[in-house]
Amino acid sequence: MKEKYYITTPIYYPSGNWHIGHCYTTVICDCIARYQKMLGKDVFFLTGTDEHGQKIEKKAAEKGVTPIEFVNPLIDDIKSIWNALDISYDKFIRTTDDYHIKAVQKIFKTLYDKGEIYKSEYEGWYCTPCESFWTDSQLKDGKCPDCGRPVSKEKEESYFFRLSKYADRLIKYYEENPEFLQPKSRVNEMINNFLKPGLQDLCVSRTSIKWGIPVTFDEKHTIYVWIDALTNYITALGYGSEDDSLFKKYWPADLHLMGKEIVRFHSIIWPAILMALDIPLPKKVYGHGWLLIGGDKLSKSKEDKIKFELTDPKQLVNRYGSDALRYFLLREIPFGSDGVYTNENLIGRINSDLANDLGNLVSRTIAMINKYFGGIIPEREKETSFDKDLISVAEGVYDKYVAAMDALNAPDALSEVFKLVSRANKYIDETMPWALSKDESKISELKTVMYNLSECIRIAAIYLKPFMTKCPNIILSALSLNGEDYSDFSSVKKFGGLKSGVKVNTIPPLFPRLDLKTEEKEIEDFLKKEKESKMESQVKPEVKLHDHSDKPVIDIEDFAKVQLKVAQVIACEKVEKSKKLLKLTVKLGEEQRTVVSGIAHAYSPEYLVGKKLVMVANLKPVKLCGIESQGMIICAENDKGELSFVSPERDIEDGSQIF
């Protein structure tokens, strides 16, 4: 029977603001999953989405939709990103899935029945974006220690998990299982910052949050979102359901991989829950570093810093292909540490490693076989004095590659493969096939050189399979090897497995060289345009009101809610970067207001100054193109889209009420 390997990514918040940093955990997991499969293991790779909690509740309310209506399209969105990146997950769990909800409720009840959960009152600091409670001493300058955002004091009846009693057991577990939490630096961080100062019992239910899983025996309580989220790793396998065969087969997880900011949840809270449930702990929890931009964790909320860096995963895949993006993520960031993301770094890697080193080696080899041997891979004949070293480099890859991959060190494993690629390129310079071809007596050496080069690219392609999903197969098809079963590493440990006498196929350049300046210019233009169109689309709330369809009959009370006033325009200008918007400064008696209105196509700013208009004065302010609009100008619009603002029939003081 095959050995099993269960690997998980964290489940993602459906924020919709996905960036390349989010792809990091999932791409590494995918690479490790593919590698473990090639080692012959029965791999189960889990990913999914973390859909409950206050953050989602709030965002949905802002949009005027229900939480599930808010998250549903975002789940399709993230799945399409994983698809674009060729992520080979076996299961996608949503915390809104029925089976998960039922299992979480069961787990909560079991913990309560065992006395691991009890009812009390909570008072503490809560960070909404991180869904985390903090004590006074944990706050950093009065703010959330994880994200630096403001926290609020919350007090309510809550259920508590007896986390405090697990501190010593956890320290002991770390000591006895040095492989459990990695890299080592995270162990010290957890022990010194959390376990040694002593753990407090964890508040695991809220009454003020409705969007979540209700406690079955006390329905006004909603289960704390991290308890709901962490248990996904077992509920996805059927734990707590009628069919737990996957749980029996794959648990304990071989690897939970995540970014360093959520290691605390995975290495303290999660193991304590498992201990409380008498379930074995995962074999390894690994907290990787972050992808940084301008010295900060990549985040869409820091838009200014990423002005001209393209960070949208789908755009990046469209532009450079999934292989290039996967390669960059797996090669550039020293594993366990932070790495810097810039378009320049990405383009640099594509040009130097993929286009120059790998791409050139493949295209030169195929071109020379075509030129010297009519496209047929020759048999090795006479040895050259450079063969031994080349072969020993090729045969030396396996042990170092496997050691690096087993340590989850993808960059080092890739570097071993690229040492072979570089060695093969150097072999071309050393053997000078073009010179050999001119000397009849050297043809048997030329044959050996061509065979050895083809064998090197075959070996490199097979080692690259966990990292890139397209280019290895293209390389193998260039050597007419696409029919071969290269699903493991057995054919690459020893040099010489390549069949000769086979016809090569000419392929287009694997990774065309990119011109940095052109790329930067195009990216800048693209991002500017995108920003402009985003601003334009913010105008939509007002545009939506120009709905010519019949509206329902309303009561006089409904109409009375709308406060209309006469406003005089005292200044007006175009809104920069918008074709539709004008910014009007209007006077309503004593009061002055700013109104942003989508009427630039109908009126020039000069024409409007001095005019008296009708405006909705009690409309909730909205930001349009970064300007707060404190009201709305009333206009008439015909079917052709022609506009006319509405004015009082005779001159009347601004600020006058309209009823």
Site residues (vs ligand MSP, CB under 6 A): 10-13, 21-22, 24-25, 50, 229-230, 258-259, 261-262, 290-291, 297-298
Residue 132 vs 322, nearer CB to ligand MSP: 132
Nearest approach in angstroms of CB 286 to ligand MSP is 10
Residue 222 vs 454, nearer CB to ligand MSP: 222
* Cβ pair 61, 40 in contact under 8 A: no
Burial 267-299 (b: 16+ CB within 10 A, else e): bbbbbbbbbbbebebbebbbbbbbbbbeeebbb
**How far apart, in whole angstroms, are the C-alpha atoms of residue 45 and residue 86?**
13
Residue 31 vs 457, nearer CB to ligand MSP: 31
Nearest approach in angstroms of CB 510 to ligand MSP is 27
Nearest approach in angstroms of CB 376 to ligand MSP is 47
- Continuous segment of H or E residues that includes residue 484: none
Residue nearest to ligand MSP (CB): 259
Residue 47 vs 630, nearer CB to ligand MSP: 47
Which of 223, 251, 222, 253 has its CA nearest to residue 239? 251
Q: Bridge-partner residues for 47, per DSSP?
A: 92
Residue 52 vs 221, nearer CB to ligand MSP: 52
Residue 102 vs 297, nearer CB to ligand MSP: 297
Residue 142's SS3 state is: coil
Nearest approach in angstroms of CB 563 to ligand MSP is 42
Q: Which amino acid is at 312?
A: D
Q: Bridge-partner residues for 143, per DSSP?
A: 140, 150
Residue 104 vs 602, nearer CB to ligand MSP: 104
Nearest approach in angstroms of CB 9 to ligand MSP is 7
Nearest approach in angstroms of CB 227 to ligand MSP is 10
- Supply the DSSP symbol for 39: T
**DSSP string computed for 256-310:** EEEEGGGHHIIIIIHHHHHHHTT-PPPS-EEEE--EEETTEE--GGGGGGGTT--
CA 166 → CA 7, 111, 175, 198, distances in Å? 25, 14, 14, 9
**How far apart, in whole angstroms, are the C-alpha atoms of residue 653 and residue 411?**
72
Burial 141-160 (b: 16+ CB within 10 A, else e): eeebbbeeeebeebeeebbb
Residue 262 vs 413, nearer CB to ligand MSP: 262
**DSSP string computed for 350-404:** IIIIIIIIIIHHHHHHHHHHHHHHTTBPPPP-S--TTHHHHHHHHHHHHHHHHHH
**How far apart, in whole angstroms, are the C-alpha atoms of residue 74 and residue 92?**
14
Nearest approach in angstroms of CB 259 to ligand MSP is 2
Bridging pattern class, strands 339-340 and 296-297: unpaired
**How far apart, in whole angstroms, are the C-alpha atoms of residue 535 and residue 487?**
49
**How far apart, in whole angstroms, are the C-alpha atoms of residue 185 and residue 602?**
63
Q: Bridge-partner residues for 183, per DSSP?
A: none
Nearest approach in angstroms of CB 297 to ligand MSP is 5
Nearest approach in angstroms of CB 180 to ligand MSP is 17
Nearest approach in angstroms of CB 8 to ligand MSP is 8
Nearest approach in angstroms of CB 88 to ligand MSP is 18
* Cβ pair 329, 469 in contact under 8 A: no
